[in-house]
Structure 1
Amino acid sequence: MNAQMVLTMGQEALLMLLMVSSPVLGAALVVGLLVSLFQAVTQIHEATLAFVPKLVAVIAVFAIAGPWMLTMLVEYIRRTIEAIPASVV
């Protein structure tokens, strides 16, 4: 295993991390922005009002995009494990 192979594997891992986490983080960001806007307009500053909608949105995204996320991670792990014999040489 040379340095180029290690850097490529690290780059693929970071790209996978971004692809898998972006739906959940995006949903939390959008819902948080909407709740903050609602709180600013109505001047209601309740802590649960900020937390509960984000939690519901993240759970919904996991329910919808969860199978895709799991498939992507399993395929990455499969490719990584299959690359072990070639890197040992």
Structure 2
Amino acid sequence: MQDALFYDVLRQGLWVAVLASAPILAVALVVGVTIGLLQALTSVQEMTLTFVPKMAAMLAVFWASMGFMSLTLGRYFTDTLIPIIEGF
């Protein structure tokens, strides 16, 4: 495999990973900042108060965006990796 092809496939794979994980990470960031602000305003410092809502929100977004993630990963596999494997 040529170096340029290897790095191009690696770059595309990393971009697909970013796209697939972006919805979950964005929701975790928003919920974490919101709960942190709420804790700072009320002076309540409970660890489970940040963990449980963040996990629930991430699980809900994962369930809602599962189709998008599967489609993105499947398209990368069929459009990029399979032709390269067939070429060798």
Q: TM-score range by the shorter chain?
A: over 0.9
Q: Which residue of 2 aligns with 1:82?
A: 83
Deviation, 1:82, is 2.6
Output the CA distance in 2 between the equivalents of 1:18 and 1:51.
23
Matched, 1:15 2:12: no
Matched, 1:5 2:10: no
Unpaired runs of 5+ in structure 1? none
**Sequence identity (%):** 34
> What TM-score, normalized by structure 1, do the two folds share?
0.92
SS of alignment partner, residue 30 of structure 2:
helix
Letter in 1 for 2:73: L
Matched, 1:40 2:40: yes
Letter in 1 for 2:19: M
Output the CA distance in 2 between the equivalents of 1:18 and 1:52.
24
> Moved runs in structure 1, 4+ residues, more than 6 A?
none
> What TM-score, normalized by structure 2, do the two folds share?
0.93
Question: How many residues get paired?
Answer: 87
Matched, 1:68 2:65: no
Output the CA distance in 2 between the equivalents of 1:82 and 1:72.
17
